[in-house]
Structure formats: C-alpha cells, structure tokens
Amino acid sequence: MTIIYRIIAMGLIAGFISGIADFIFSVISIFGIFLPIVLTFDLQMLAIYTIITASLWGIVWVLLYAFFYDHIPGKGVSRGLFFGLIIWIIAPTSNWIISAACGYYLWAIQTAIVTFFTIGIVYGLILGYFFKN
C-alpha cells in the first residue's frame, strides 16, 4: 500500500512542477509570441487553476506510467521523456482540435507549444527521474 502512496505523491509533485511551468510558459513567454494576451481574470486565479489541474492530472498520468512501466522503451529519464511525449500527443489533442475548429488556429499552435514543454519535457523528465532504478 505504501507504493501506491509513493506513486501518488510522485504524481502530485510532478504535476505541481508541471503546473508551475505551464503557468510560466502560458503567461510570460509563449502567449506573447503569437497574440497579445488578454486575461479576463487575474493571474492568481490562472496560477491556481493551472497548478491544481496539472497536479490532479499528474496523479492520473503517474498511475498510467506505473501501470505501463515495463512496456515503455528506454531507461530512466529517457523512459520518462518517451512517456511524456506520448502524453503530449494524447492529452491536449481535443483542445487543439476545438481551437482549430473554432478558427483560433494560433491558439492551437500556442497550446501545442506550451503543452510540449510542460507535459512532454518537464513532466516526462520528472517522472523519469523519480522512477529511475
């Protein structure tokens, strides 16, 4: 039972760090490249939302990672990066499609770039580091 708690704690930590990276990339750097950012709410609510959402999804992704651990190619950090890229392809696909279908093509590109760095790289590196044997 302690292994489950350890895995969930890893997911929360990785999700928390990924959420912070998501907030930083979303507000400060990436959104300013394509379009000026227009926030309808304050930055604190955006930070809380991105960090909590990423932390909760972090638990889901780490449980899947632990379940499919033996079937993911690579070792250590490279295994985590591979899994992070798989998550990057699966997780935000609906957001990309909805943004593109509604005519917000640039938002779809920005979402793809932000999620690549936050989910694919940051989260994958953290998972690979935590699970390295």
> pLDDT (tens digit, 9 = 90+) per residue, 10-59?
888 988 998 888 888 777 755 555 555 555 567 788 788 888 988 888 88
Better-predicted residue by pLDDT, 44 or 110: 44
Q: d(Cα 124, Cα 81) in Å, to the nearest integer?
A: 4
Measuring CA to CA, how many Å separate 19 from each of 7, 10, 14, 23, 25?
A: 18, 14, 8, 6, 10
> Has residue 125 got a pLDDT over 80?
yes
Q: d(Cα 79, Cα 129) in Å, to the nearest integer?
A: 9
In this prediction, residue 93 carries a pLDDT of 75
Average pLDDT, the chain: 79
In this prediction, residue 119 carries a pLDDT of 80
In this prediction, residue 23 carries a pLDDT of 83
In this prediction, residue 98 carries a pLDDT of 73
pTM score, two decimals?
Answer: 0.77
DSSP 8-class letter at 41: S
Residue type (1 letter), 81: L
